[in-house]
Structure 1
Amino acid sequence: MTEVDTPRKATTQRLLESAAMLSYDPALEVDWETPLDTSYHGMSPEWSTLYGTPYWAEMTEDQRKELTRQEAASVASTGIWFEMILQQMVLRDFYAKDPTDPAFQWALTEIADECRHSIMFARGAEKLRAPAYRPRRHVVELGRAFKAIATGEAAYAAILVAEEVLDVMQRDSMRDERVVPFVRTINNIHVVEESRHMKFAREETKQRLMGAGRARREANAIAVAITSYFIVTSMINRDVYQHAGLDSERAIREAKANEHHKSMLRSSCAGLMEFLDSCGLLTTASLRFYRRASLI
């Protein structure tokens, strides 16, 4: 066993032990039976794309709550889309590798978690009375290509971006008593289990980059930044405003210019950007995409 393999084995063994001690079955943990209480928000209102805008000030409290419920459902639907990409990349990465390796067993554990999460998100969106929000067609096709060709640090760093942005948002909502209880439970489950996934993604990113030259780091930095841009800009589907009974054109215009929401995204990604920088994946070229996505 190499010096690199020894700490990696120890890390994945700890993750397996943690999963054995603290994992959830959403089918049993989430209250799926109680009817939706529309007196609650779907996410912390401060995370709404319209929070702090003139339109938000004009909206009734019921409209604000409906909007946050639709936005929460959109985030969940985008999460399902990316979790399916994640599962395929991890399966491809560990195809035909040593099944006795704790990293192999952890990869399967993570995939099992993601399957449960996707079902949980789907049922949650349905209970929020939302349609099946999906990324735009060109983003779906780009995702299809990315999951087929992304390898090594590009795959794991992209996984990390998707998980870290969602993590901060969900941590706020799971503690917020204004948010409907079943969504708080969903967020809590996801935060607990994704913390292990993020640990693995960080370790894999660092390991895969060992010995990587400048050209490889530059190329992967761009790939991760572009992927991050499409993930973040796909989280809130434009149709949420129509389904919330709002003027879609005005809502989209004000959401695009909403400095409060951009600030929330930037603050949520501060630690992530530090990590990417430490790995040599925050380059001059990649910064353009992170700025466009309001992540830096």
Structure 2
Amino acid sequence: MAGSTVRPVTQNDAQDDGVSRRLLDSAAVLAYDPATEVDWDTPLDLDCHGASPEWSTLYGTTYWAELTEAQRKALTRQEAASVASTGIWFEMILQQMVLRDVYTKDPAGDEVQWALTEIADECRHSIMFARGAQKLGAPSYRPSRPVMELGRAFKTLAFGEAAYAAILVAEEVLDVMQRDWMRDERVVPFVRTINNIHVVEESRHMKFAREQTRKRLRGAGRVRRQINAFVVAVASYYIVTSMVNRKVYENAGLDEKRALAEAKANEHHKSMMRSSCSGLMEFLASAGLLTGPALAFYKRAHLI
């Protein structure tokens, strides 16, 4: 049409579409329905852990050494349920950010089709986590009210690379934990199945988040990178520090005050978190999102 300008399709556009198409093809071949894949009917085996004990916030502490095996197993079940509940909270944030991001785009395009597929996955995951936590005999753990309100603001205001990089941080940290748990025969079988489902499907989500982060940062200036690096780091800090609710100790029959103090000083758990995030930190550095102010928050969360 005379007077109109049509933006040419670039090599980057083709690459973006190619990533989304490959993810859609992968989802068509390998996807799960937790309603039928997970054994929801077999009663909970109290002789099993809810997570690999090495990932417990008390593992390696004096308090852990004093606990009976039954108490340790009760604690890991509560901790696993808390991690799942935090996952639900952030998956709800993720769904809203992704849906808002594709709201004006062509729904027939591969990128939007993949985004909708990811949202559908996250809906199933949230239901799966909720049922799993309930079967573990745990309440619905939630982050503190201030953190919930910060999450409300973040999901409303975050966009572009800030949204996708924060999504990536949450998914990467959970992914490393769950890869250990799903292979650990000490962990109750239905939790291992849940972890396997989540790891397989989240691997596609993480690929999309990485590609979207890189895409949104193309040509970004220093000020924009500095601002978004800080936003992502703050969001990451509150996500990670909310994973294990303080009430897990009381609900496992432990002394909450003592458990909190020993968990806070637990160098083993801090080391586990740092080692699990080495690849993530390399990615953030390569994307220009590992600035000085951001590093301060990652260090406080023991991610680096």
Partner residue, 1:93 = 101
- Determine helix, strand or coil for the equivalent of 1:4: helix
Partner residue, 1:235 = 243
**What are the within-5 Å matches in structure 2 for residues 188-199 of structure 1?**
188-199=196-207
Partner residue, 1:128 = 136
1:177 and 1:132 map into 2 onto residues whose CA distance is 26
| Root mean square deviation of aligned Cα | 0.4
2:173 and 2:204 map into 1 onto residues whose CA distance is 15
Partner residue, 1:151 = 159
Q: Out of 221, 224, 233, which is 1:225 matched to?
A: 233
- Matching residue's letter, 2:177: M
Ranges in structure 1 where 5+ consecutive residues have no aligned partner: none
Rg larger in structure: 2
Residue 247 (structure 2) pairs with residue 260 (structure 1)? no
Deviation at 1:100, TM superposition (A): 1.8
1:98 and 1:2 map into 2 onto residues whose CA distance is 17
1:220 and 1:274 map into 2 onto residues whose CA distance is 17
Partner residue, 1:56 = 64
Residue 112 (structure 2) pairs with residue 104 (structure 1)? yes
Q: What is the TM-score with the length of structure 1 in the denominator?
A: 1.00
Q: How many residues align?
A: 296
Ranges in structure 2 where 5+ consecutive residues have no aligned partner: 1-8
1:213 and 1:19 map into 2 onto residues whose CA distance is 35
Partner residue, 1:294 = 302
1:200 and 1:52 map into 2 onto residues whose CA distance is 36
Partner residue, 1:174 = 182
Runs of 4+ in 1 over 3 A off after TM superposition: none
Q: Out of 25, 30, 40, which is 1:32 matched to?
A: 40
Q: Out of 38, 41, 54, which is 2:49 matched to?
A: 41
Deviation at 1:212, TM superposition (A): 0.2
Partner residue, 2:216 = 208
- Matching residue's letter, 1:210: R
- Matching residue's letter, 1:15: L
Q: What is the TM-score with the length of structure 2 in the denominator?
A: 0.97
- Matching residue's letter, 2:276: S
Provide, for residues 15-57 of structure 1, a one-character-per-residue CA deviation record: whole Å limited to 9, x for no partner.
0000000000000000000000000000000000000000000
1:103 and 1:68 map into 2 onto residues whose CA distance is 38
Residue 132 (structure 2) pairs with residue 142 (structure 1)? no
Deviation at 1:99, TM superposition (A): 1.2
Partner residue, 1:72 = 80
- Determine helix, strand or coil for the equivalent of 2:243: coil
- Determine helix, strand or coil for the equivalent of 2:168: helix
Deviation at 1:77, TM superposition (A): 0.2
1:181 and 1:98 map into 2 onto residues whose CA distance is 42
Deviation at 1:96, TM superposition (A): 2.1
Deviation at 1:2, TM superposition (A): 1.6
The sequence identity of aligned pairs, in percent, is 76
